[in-house]
Each structure stands twice: as structure tokens, then as C-alpha cells.
Amino acid sequence: MKYEIKITKTQNPKAKPDPVSLGFGDVFTDHMFIMDYDEGEGWHDARIVPYAPICLDPAASVLHYAQEMFEGMKTYKSVDGLKLFRPDMNAKRTAQTNDRLCIPHVDEGFYVDAIRALIDVDRDWVPGREGTSLYIRPFIIATEPFLGVRPSGSYKFIIILSPVGPYYKEGLAPTRIFVEDEYTRAAPGGTGCAKVGGNYAASLKSQMKAHSLGFTQVLWLDGVERKYVEEIGTSNAFFVMGGEVWTAPLDGTILPGITRDSVITLLRDWGVLVREERFTIEEVFAAHDSGRLSEIFASGTAAVISPVGELRWKGRGITVGGGSIGELSQRLYDTITGIQSGRLPDTHGWTVDL
């Protein structure tokens, strides 16, 4: 499928932020990509326009029944130009999420082309400072003004860009994680494996609870027995126990993270045994008590690798790895960001030059 992208450039470029003080997701570039979908016509009118608010009917179904999806990826300034990290995986995951949410399919090749075209227009916005990047947020919303519950007949696919620094204010310093045993993130047959805003809305209550208790984020347990370890905050979770690395399997309640996949591939390259199997929070605490728990880390596009220094469950707190970043966490962070920024060889063909 071939679409033409019409480009209208801004007449009022904004001042770029100071890269030293970049946080996560609060500054946006000069342009955005938009494409519309209408039943009978398909996707049409692909365009890049100045970044601006969008106009929605108050009855638009996304505002009532949350028929929407989003993605996240990053582009990095490398020694030899700009690079995207595994954009084909984001396109594929978008297709899977769209299928789950009854959102019309977007051609996967065009999806990546649209991202490339937008970054090309705003390429001066990619920060170069160590630890910074340009975060790419594609999303699709249902726009039909209709209060009945059924898939919308019209949609907007939008891409916005945000120069970012670290996701957690801790940066690479270990986080404090609270094990959530009241609320859950996902249930079998639900939308845990899809990248939909509703999952994140439902997680806010726990996040606020964790913050009020002085923790950075929560660790999610399974939605049936509340004993199997699933994810940490908005990220996949890894546990180094007895020299093996454990992470929850992709059984429908876990987001198939692109960083998760990269972590597993690298660990296996290095000869580390990775177990994608169910394991309980009790096993994690038992591993700590017997001295076999050496590291816990979260992985995601936003944070890349985020080490955990403390875990609290049912009133009991444990310190992980002496409260410092572990050897594997540091090596994974250095290797993934090294490949993303072109400092290290990309032996798996993960990066795409822009």
C-alpha cells in the first residue's frame, strides 16, 4: 500500500529545551503526523502538520469507551546519524493491539515510513546528550460521535514526538518497589498483552498508593491468585535468582516488551540461562533469604533498564543487591543503549538508520 504524506511546516518554531533539564514527556516538537480512517474509505489523508490541539466531538467513542491504543519507541543521535530501535516490532505489536481492540489495521511498512517522515521534519529536536533521546508516541483513537457500544466507524492515527531524559527521576539509581496485593493489572483473557490506555488508567490507583508510601512503583501480581510475579509499573520485570534470570512468560497478561525481547536475546547470547516461566513472590523472598536473589530489574522503552534496590511485600522489606545496581543490569543497560546510539556493534540488525 502506498500513501502520500502531505507536509505543512510550522511558521512558528518553538524554542528547544535545555537537554540538561529534560524529564520525560512534557515537551513536544514542532510537528505531528495525522491520518484519518473512515468506514468505506479506509485510512486516508496522511499528513504532517504543526503540533496543535485536535478537535474532537464530545461524543467521540474514545472519550467514553476508551477504544484507543498507543506505542512508544525512541530515536537516538548516534555517531553516524539518527537511529530507530526495532521499529518493525512496534509496528507488529500495533497490529496485535489493533486486532484486540477492533481498530482497523495500519499497514506495517507505512507505519514505519510515517515515523521516519515525521522525525525527518523534526530531526533538529533529537537531543544529543548522553541519556537523552527523542521519544516517539504513535496512537490511534476512535472518533465516531456515537454513544452505543460497538467499534467506531472512524479513527485518527497520530504520532507525536517528545525529547526526553530519564523516565524515573532516580535515573539508573535503584528504585523502591511496593508489591501490590490489592489491585491487579491484568486478567487472563483481558488486555494485559495489548498496549491500550485503559490498562494504564486502571494502574494509577496503585501507583498513587505506592507514591504515598514512599515507593517508586508497584510490582504487579497475577489477577487470579495474586501470587505469581507479572510486571513492575509500566515495565517487564526480571529476577536474577541462583545465577538464572526469571521473567513471566508471554501468556496473555504480560506486555510483549521490545526491550524485554532484547534483554532475553542478549542474556542468551552471553550464555545466561533465562527462564520465561511463572514464579511466585514467595519464591522471590525465599531466594532472598537463602542468598540466591542477586538482582531485580525492570525493562521498557522509556526506562530501558531500571534496577530495583528494595522490595516490600506484606509489611516486609528486603534490600536487593545491597541496594546498588547489579552487574547484569548495568551490562544490559550499557549494551542496549550502546547499540541504540551506535557506540556498540549491532550484531542483531536491530537499528534502522534515519
Minimum CB distance to ligand COI, residue 167 (Å): 7
The cell 526506562 sits on which residue? 303
Beta carbon nearer to ligand COI, 173 or 318: 173
Give 235 or 294: the residue with its C-beta nearer to ligand COI. 235
DSSP for 217-254, written as a single string: EEEEEPTTTS-BEEEETTEEEEEEETTEEEE---SSSS
With a CB cutoff of 8 Å and minimum separation 6, the contacts of 205 are 183
In terms of DSSP bridges, do strands 244-247 and 217-221 run parallel, antiparallel, or are they unpaired? unpaired
CA distances from 182 to 24, 30, 96, 209, 247 (A): 28, 42, 29, 11, 22
Angstrom CA distances, 45 to 36, 144, 201, 301, stand at 6, 17, 30, 29
Query: Closest distance between ligand COI and the C-beta of residue 198, in Å?
Result: 13
Work out how close the CB of 72 gets to ligand COI at its nearest, in angstroms, rounded to a whole number.
4
Q: Which three cell numbers, joined as nine digits, stand for 307?
A: 534496577
Strand partners, 229: 221
User: Of 235 and 329, which CB lies nearer to ligand COI in the complex structure?
Assistant: 235
CB 167 within 8 A of CB 24: yes
State which residue, 72 or 190, has the beta carbon closest to ligand COI.
Answer: 72
Residue from 87, 102, 82 nearest 39 by CA: 102
- Nearest distance from C-beta of residue 196 to ligand COI, angstroms: 11
Q: For ligand COI, give the closer residue by CB, 154 or 234.
A: 234
337 φ, ψ (degrees, to nearest 5):
-70, -30
Q: Output the smallest distance, CB 259 to ligand COI, in A.
A: 7
Q: How far apart are CA 164 and CA 238, in angstroms?
A: 24
**Least CB distance from residue 3 to ligand COI, whole Å?**
27
Of 300 and 342, the one with the shorter C-beta distance to ligand COI is 300
Q: Site residues (CB under 6 A) for ligand COI?
A: 72, 234-235, 300-303
Strands 274-276 and 81-85 turn out to be unpaired
Nearer to ligand COI, 125 or 168 (CB): 168
DSSP secondary structure, 140-184, as one string: EEE--B--SSS--SEEEEEEEEEEE--SSTTTTSPEEEEEE-SS-
- Closest residue to ligand COI, based on beta-carbon distance: 300
The three three-digit cell numbers of residue 251, written as one number: 501468556
**Residues paired with residue 284 on neighbouring β-strands, in sequence order:** none
Cell of 56: 474532537
Cβ closer to ligand COI: 134 or 293?
A: 134
61 or 306, CB closer to ligand COI? 306
